[in-house]
Amino acid sequence: MIMIQAGRKEVNMIYPDFLKKGDTVAVTAVSDGVDDELDKVRFNNGKAELEKRGYKVYFSDDVFKVDKWMKSAPGDVRGKEFNDIFSDDNVKYVVSAKGGNFLCEMLEYIDFEKIKSKPKWFQGYSDNTSVVHAITTKLDIASVYGSNFGEFGMENYHESVENNLKILEGNLKAQNSFDMYQKEQEERVTGLEGYKPDTKVIYIPDSITEKKGDSAEFSGRLLGGCLDVLEFIQGTKYDNTLEFIDKYKKDGIIWYLESFDTSGETLTMFLWQLKEIGWFKYTKGFIFGRPLFYRSFIEADYREVVEYSLGDLDVPMIFDWDFGHIGPRMTMINGAYATVKYKEGKGSVFYDFV
């Protein structure tokens, strides 16, 4: 593992070892599993592709199982498989099979002391926010808010997937906004489909940043994930946010946030709650991913709601960033010190952990 001295001060963040050929990539279904035949084709292709690149790939027993509640197995079973993977010294990278709704049921069965003693990269998004957030805020171990395993099964890797591997191999420090994103979801025919970008990527600044020359730059520790999940884990024993941000207050925090299904009214109330609790007191800036399902009874758009809720913090806020439920997505290293740059509709993330 890597203990970083980043030039500003000595910090406590732990980065798991970067990947090297021969390492094992473990896939486990901490939330939902996959039972659709096209998904199975996709997963097997992902396994074959990573093996061609020199990695070993292991699927836990729950990956291809789905019960009536749309979860792969009971919480204790998922927790045991997760713990067993972290006990394997050959495994360096753990990727979630899928998102879902009930990952929270396995949290009580996770052996966090085992994770702390044998840090590994854990990656997933959406419902996986529960584990990503807990690993970083409770243990000071960097984690990955990025694609679930299915994206590794596309026939021709998109730049975002290549970047994902390069970052975890220690070969890439920066990510730039993509040219296009896929706004419309399409049914799969072969299971091997890649992205079909149909809409130009244009990042949107908050109104103050827009008036100040349409550019911004800010640095701090990345923290965030899916707001739908953060809403119900905040305040539980799996959330150590306040202690984490206080520990790293000299660095400051960059919040990256996105939502799966929310209304403007719910978003307003939840952002108010997090601000009152103190989550945003050391914030250097926000980046918001494109929301998948959004509605508002008062007909306020996403940016308007966020500015209404957080505008008094007087920090830059950039919207429609490339992460979250609408792909392609950047690989967000939770807990890493990063610099975000935005200018005239485009942006970049630069990491300082190698």
Cα atoms in the 13 Å half-sphere on the side-chain side of 332 = 35
- Residue 5: is it exposed, middle or buried by C-beta count within 10 angstroms (0-12/13-18/19+)? exposed
SS3 20: coil
Number of structural domains, the chain?
A: 2
On whether both 127 and 209 belong to a single domain, the answer is no
On whether both 332 and 289 belong to a single domain, the answer is yes
CATH number for the domain harbouring residue 84: 3.40.50.10740
Q: What are phi and psi of 319, to 5 degrees?
A: -115, 160
On whether both 47 and 125 belong to a single domain, the answer is yes
Residue 179 CB coordination number (10 Å): 10
Length of the chain counted residue by residue = 354
On whether both 12 and 154 belong to a single domain, the answer is yes
Instruction: Please state the three-class secondary structure of 102-116 as a single string.
Output: CHHHHHHHCCHHHHH
On whether both 104 and 221 belong to a single domain, the answer is no
On whether both 99 and 202 belong to a single domain, the answer is no
Q: Which of 172, 200, 228 is the last residue of a domain?
A: 172
Cβ contact 347:318 at 8 Å: yes
Nearest to 115 by CA among 95, 96, 134: 134
On whether both 103 and 202 belong to a single domain, the answer is no
**Interior CA angle at 64 toward 62 and 68, to 5°?**
85
On whether both 328 and 182 belong to a single domain, the answer is yes
Whether the CA torsion 144, 5, 246, 138 is positive or negative: it is positive
On whether both 7 and 121 belong to a single domain, the answer is yes
Nearest to 224 by CA among 206, 245, 250, 193: 245
**Residue 223: which region, alpha, beta or left (left: phi > 0; alpha: psi -120 to 50)?**
beta
Confidence (pLDDT) at 242: 98
On whether both 103 and 247 belong to a single domain, the answer is no
Q: Which of 172, 206, 226 is the last residue of a domain?
A: 172
On whether both 160 and 60 belong to a single domain, the answer is yes
Distance of CA 69 to the CA centre of its chain: 24
Distance in angstroms (rounded) separating the CA atoms of residues 220 and 229: 23
Confidence (pLDDT) at 114: 94
On whether both 234 and 268 belong to a single domain, the answer is yes
pLDDT per residue of the chain (354 residues) written in tens, 0 to 9 = 443 334 444 568 999 999 999 999 999 999 999 999 999 999 999 999 999 999 999 999 999 999 999 999 999 999 999 999 999 999 999 999 999 999 999 999 999 999 999 999 999 999 999 999 999 999 999 999 999 999 999 999 999 999 999 999 999 999 999 999 999 888 899 999 999 999 999 999 999 999 999 999 999 999 999 999 999 999 999 999 999 999 999 999 999 999 999 999 999 999 999 999 999 999 999 999 999 999 999 899 999 999 999 999 999 999 999 999 999 999 999 999 999 999 999 999 999 984
Distances (CA, A) of 153 to 44, 54, 145, 190: 7, 16, 18, 11
Supply the range of the domain harboring residue 33.
Answer: 2-172
Distance in angstroms (rounded) separating the CA atoms of residues 283 and 71: 35
Q: Which of 154, 172, 190 is the last residue of a domain?
A: 172
Confidence (pLDDT) at 10: 52
Distance in angstroms (rounded) separating the CA atoms of residues 34 and 218: 39
Distance in angstroms (rounded) separating the CA atoms of residues 186 and 173: 32
CATH number for the domain harbouring residue 306: 3.50.30.60
Q: Strand locations in 260-315, DSSP E? A: 261-263, 283-289, 293-295
Residues 6 or more apart whose Cβ sits within 8 Å of residue 237: none
The DSSP symbol for 262 reads E
